[in-house]
Amino acid sequence: MPAKVYTQKEAKVTAIKKKTLAVIGYGSQGHAHALNLKESGCNVIIGLYKGSKSIKVAKRQGFEVVEVAEATKRADVIMIGVPDMKQAEVYEKEIKPNLSKGKTLLFTHGFAIHFGLIKPPRGVSVIMVAPKGPGHVVRSQFKEGKGVPALIAVLKGSSKDSKATALSWAAGVGAAKAGILETTFKEETETDLFGEQAVLCGGASALVEAGFETLVEAGYAPEMAYFECLHELKLIVDLMIESGIAGMRFSISETAKFGDVTRGPRVINGNVKKSMKSILKEIQSGKFAKEWVKEYEAGLPKYNKLLEDGEKHPIEETGKRLRELMSWIPKKNIKGAQASYS
């Protein structure tokens, strides 16, 4: 059954305009939510740890910045905008001791709630507002008078007005201009993780590297392999986003179409789908979450090793060299960038 889509008719900022809203963390999503809500007429304060590099930035952009505990005490709605693996520590040390009945916790991803890393007390409502785009896009679309679609969810046991609060917050960040869809913490978390692991990040990067390796091992120039297996991927993805898979096929040559429909299923075959189902089961059972928590608590040895190995893959050096020839592609030095509790 298709999800209901809420628009500006049902979702208005009014419900939160008389509340104090706290955004904990001033990273990708945090800064976008805070700025958009402020410009929507809401009272927003920022909660950051003492010494955070983001304090000056948030103050320069017009916010009152206080420590996390103080922000929690003062706010009616508290958005936890720090990375998944840091949320539980921040919650236990700074947020939980300062929560009182009637307050609302807001998440932009369901991981910590769904897998029990955070267990809010009775009397505290828990909602989710998850824009389907990175923070800088949420911000840029808002500034253009547009919006990014968002998902909302309300955890069982929350107050009756929690859905209205979620819709109002989503409207405040601009999502009502695009569409707001209702989901659950379970559905958002499990589908988000599956998409990242099997298709968007894990699946796509592994497919690109395997294609590059196949051509280079067959004696073709790495530059040719890069163009065919990575560079032109954006063209195809853009066509899919604009018109769907059928629309993409309409836009490519008959030769490409025939190769697509006859050879694609040989690459992404039944064995691949079995692997995808296995990955989904690991997500649903909590096995992935436990593995990720254990890895984080151990200091990320496997995580860092795999990332370092990936940076040494020949496709990276080839791509770096070729991108220098493409003046129309923005040059971004994002190596080593990572989310931080800011």
Q: What is the pLDDT of residue 1?
A: 72
**What is the pTM assigned to this prediction?**
0.91
> Would you place residue 342 in the very low, low, confident or very high pLDDT band (cuts 50, 70, 90)?
very low
Q: What is the pLDDT of residue 328?
A: 84
Higher pLDDT, 327 or 98: 98
User: Which residue do the tokens 């706290």 mark?
Assistant: 22
Mean pLDDT on 260-272? 97
**Any idea which of 76-90, 105-119, 321-335 has the lowest mean pLDDT?**
321-335
CA atoms of 287 and 30, how far apart (whole Å) = 29
Q: What is the pLDDT of residue 333?
A: 58
Assess whether 109 carries a catalytic annotation. Answer: yes
Residues 128 and 109 sit within 8 Å (Cβ to Cβ):
yes
Query: pLDDT at residue 334 above 70?
Result: no
- Residues 192-245: tens digit of each pLDDT: 999 999 999 999 999 999 999 999 999 999 999 999 999 999 999 999 999 999
CA atoms of 36 and 44, how far apart (whole Å) = 10
31, 33, 109, 114: the catalytic one is 109
Q: What percent of the chain has pLDDT over 70?
A: 96
Q: What is the pLDDT of residue 332?
A: 66
- Residues 18-72: tens digit of each pLDDT: 999 999 999 989 999 999 999 999 999 999 999 999 999 999 999 999 999 999 9
Distance, first Cα to last Cα, the chain: 40
> Would you place residue 131 in the very low, low, confident or very high pLDDT band (cuts 50, 70, 90)?
very high
- Residues 159-184: tens digit of each pLDDT: 999 999 999 999 999 999 999 999 99
